Amino acid sequence: MTALACVDPAVLPPGYVLAGEPSLPSPDPFPTNPTTTTAVTAALAAAVPMNDAISAHWNPSLSASLYKIDGWGAPYFSVNSSGDISIRPYGTETQPHQEIDLLKVVKKASDPRSEGGLGLQLPLVVRFPDVLKNRLESLQSAFDLAVHSNGYESHYQGVYPVKCNQDRFVVEDIVKFGSGFRFGLEAGSKPELLLAMSCLCKGSPDALLVCNGFKDAEYISLALVARKLALNTVIVLEQEEEVDLVIELSRKLAVRPMIGVRAKLRTRHSGHFGSSSGEKGKFGLTTTQILRVVKKLEHVGMLDCLQLLHFHIGSQIPSTTLLADGVSEAAQIYCELVRLGACMQVIDIGGGLGIDYDGSKSGGSDISVSYSLEEYASAVVQAVKFVCNRKAVKHPVLCSESGRAIVSHHSVLIFEAVSATVAETPAMTSLGLQYFVEGLSEEGRADYRNLSAAAMRGEYETCLIYCDQLKQRCVEQFKEGSLDMEQLASVDGLCELVSKLIGLSDPVRTFHVNLSVFTSIPDFWGIGQLFPILPIHRLDERPGVKGILSDLTCDSDGKIDKFIGGESSLPLHEIGQGGVSGVDGKYYLGMFLGGAYEEALGGIHNLFGGPSVVRVSQSDGPYSFAVTRAVPGPSCGDVLRVMQHEPELMFETLKHRAEEFVLEDGIGSGSGMSLASLATGLASAFNNMPYLVLQSSSCGYYYCGDDNYNLTTDPTAGEDEQWSYICFGFEIGCYMHVLEALKRVNNDILALVWIGYECSIILRDVALLPLFKHPVKSTTFVVPAYEGSEDCRDSRPMLDDEAQCKSYVVGCDDPFIEQI
């Protein structure tokens, strides 16, 4: 029998028993003349008994071993005594009282606001900026230690490749956290360059802005403008012809550029991520092309501008042996460029610093690495120092683009398993069995008799042969119309029962998750990248079933059926049995180490948009954390706009259609649905997230009827004056786009509430919503800006004094909220 996922049978956690072990009783023979379902069920129970003693002695440390958390999660993730995943925001320096219970974060984010939550809908990305800061500091410390211990006569200053995660707050955090050690950014496209330029205005003046990727005149002009703005910008030549543009445009703009070249090394690794390296790599110049670039620059008097050498062996470099080989080759090229007269200053070793996704510490895998941060840094420093000393070349500044290693750990994707296939023992009475057998053909009856005889003799392989024959004959009879559906179902149940009794039935269940694999875990579908996935709670309980995960999309590839450790299933718990955990039977799963690439690469297959996002910092409060930012995921209207649809016009079309076909007193006769209710429902559909709503939730644009909204209305108002409420929001940058609409409906504004950089509006009538056209954004949440909030009062525009807005307290103590 196959072992439970993620468990190495050779090193099982103490007390863990796998179904099918020799220590378990052997199955009873299949009965030749079963009289009731009881006999069948008893035989099955005898085959694989539940070990209650093992379940009773299960504990969180066994779950940590089962899911290999100490391997891939250290030092940021662990299991606490409550059986929940715990975040250690400062790594090894985290004190016990500073640990953050991930389940409590999820509850804070997803619970209704009436219960003290933020009302966000799952799936949910939880960001931990403290972890991000620790990763950045750990990388810098590793290189500082290597520089000091090896007597290296220069320093390390890295850059973050923004392609790994372009989220504004991630990039701004990295610039802020890294300013003390001159940490910079790398851009590979024009929009990435623009955001890097903007962010680095608040960073260290010595921080590098490395410009990679294919370039046109506009890209190079932007990079030269950045240099004119006193940003330490380097234009890295990826193609030979780019040097001509740099020479031409730098003269026109009167800017002396800093130029780098990307070299195609002979060194490469053989894994999936090694395809971008070597002589056939997508980017970079051959040695012949580099020599031609040197001659061109020398000819125009710009050889002194050539100051950086860049190379990339490939992501997820598995071992320091391969790393040292590649760095040594690049250092030789660097020294040769110095010999040719270039004023070389920096060697950029690119990406490649890997992380251990499966905790195996293996050097022969695409999802693991066999070294630590310190060993990686030491290998780089030693290789460069050895070559430069031999060539009598001054030690260069060391730079790396270690994006994956910086951001992967700081982000956790949370999603809910909403249902699972039920493992049922087929039930068949003697009467039902007789009815089934009578409907068989003569050949089918013979197969059934042979099956019974083989079971009595204990010839289990022969049983399977007769089962297959019997099933095939029944399928043919069904196609001919001589067998009904109940009889076809009976043969399926009989064959499944036989498989279970002899221990060959597939025990793997399918868990349906409220998620799109294509949107949130695209690398799994695209390149087979594996990530640690496990329950974030109930880890003090023994997982009793094995499962695969099936997403919401109408696509057969929308599933996760491969897991770390080479497993094809995941140990999981029964859904609906976790009430003791305080989550009302909900079952939350987390995908870890997905902070790099997954959000940037995700698409909108089936028009499922991205997840909601919360930003959580460690605090000294009672729960050890504070939510400093919360943003709901894109609404149905948002994802429709991406595909060039216009939700406002769509809503108007449907509303007019309703007015044409729906009577004011109901749809058809006696349905009781009013035109207003129908319009409200349509608006709600456009403005909620595309994912399943498992309970009443306020997310995105949302409609609140009188039953679930406790806002007081005027008791003396007539029926025509009853208010229905629609709440939506927009970012401050969109204000001018909606100002005119605000003026047009100012008598219908119930409240205008500022939270940080965002504004939420509550209108009295959902029908007014179409007046607010794109780019209105569905960010409605009243988020307490606990610690670290920025006061942006000076940049807040105000409504005209004519706006007649009723005051409404939204239940938030945020001092930055202004009510009009």
DSSP 8-state assignment for residue 211: E
- Residue 493 CA to residue 501 CA, distance in Å, equals 12
Location of structure tokens 């909601």: 612
Judge whether 383 and 331 are in contact, CB under 8 Å: yes
What is Dmax (Cα atoms) for the chain? 98
SS3 614: strand
- Residue 543 CA to residue 367 CA, distance in Å, equals 25
Helix axes 217-228, 190-200, angle to 10 degrees: 10
| Structure token pair of residue 762 | 């509550």
Q: Is 655 exposed, middle or buried (0-12, 13-18, 19+ CB in 10 A)?
A: middle
Phi, psi torsion values for 430, nearest 5 degrees: -60, -35
**Cα–Cα distances in angstroms (integers) from residue 602 to residues 295, 415, 439, 524, 778, in the given order:** 43, 16, 52, 11, 20
Judge whether 122 and 691 are in contact, CB under 8 Å: yes
**Cα–Cα distances in angstroms (integers) from residue 795 to residues 173, 583, 669, 733, 817, in the given order:** 21, 41, 54, 10, 14
- Residue 329 CA to residue 409 CA, distance in Å, equals 31
Q: What is the DSSP string of 567-601?
A: BSSEEE--TT--GGGTSTT--EEEE-S--SSHHHH
Find the radius of gyration of the CA atoms of the chain. Answer: 32
SS3 4: coil
Judge whether 728 and 769 are in contact, CB under 8 Å: yes
Nearest by Cα to 106 from 576, 811, 700, 613: 613
Calculate the CA 630 to chain-centre distance.
16
User: What are the beta bridge partners of residue 187?
Assistant: 211
| Structure token pair of residue 802 | 């004519």
Judge whether 381 and 151 are in contact, CB under 8 Å: no
**Residues 6, 199, 495, 554: which is the catalytic one?**
554
- For the four alpha carbons of 12, 16, 21 and 22, in that order, the dihedral sign comes to positive
- Residue 595 CA to residue 91 CA, distance in Å, equals 17
Phi, psi torsion values for 103, nearest 5 degrees: -65, -40
Reply yes or no on whether 388 is catalytic: no
| Structure token pair of residue 67 | 């899911």
**What ranges make up the beta strands (E) of 624-673?**
625-631
DSSP 8-state assignment for residue 563: B
Judge whether 126 and 617 are in contact, CB under 8 Å: no
SS3 452: helix
Judge whether 229 and 202 are in contact, CB under 8 Å: no
- Residue 607 CA to residue 645 CA, distance in Å, equals 12
| Structure token pair of residue 194 | 């623009």
Judge whether 98 and 618 are in contact, CB under 8 Å: yes
Nearest by Cα to 627 from 503, 439, 788: 788
Instruction: Give the residue numbers marked as catalytic.
Output: 554
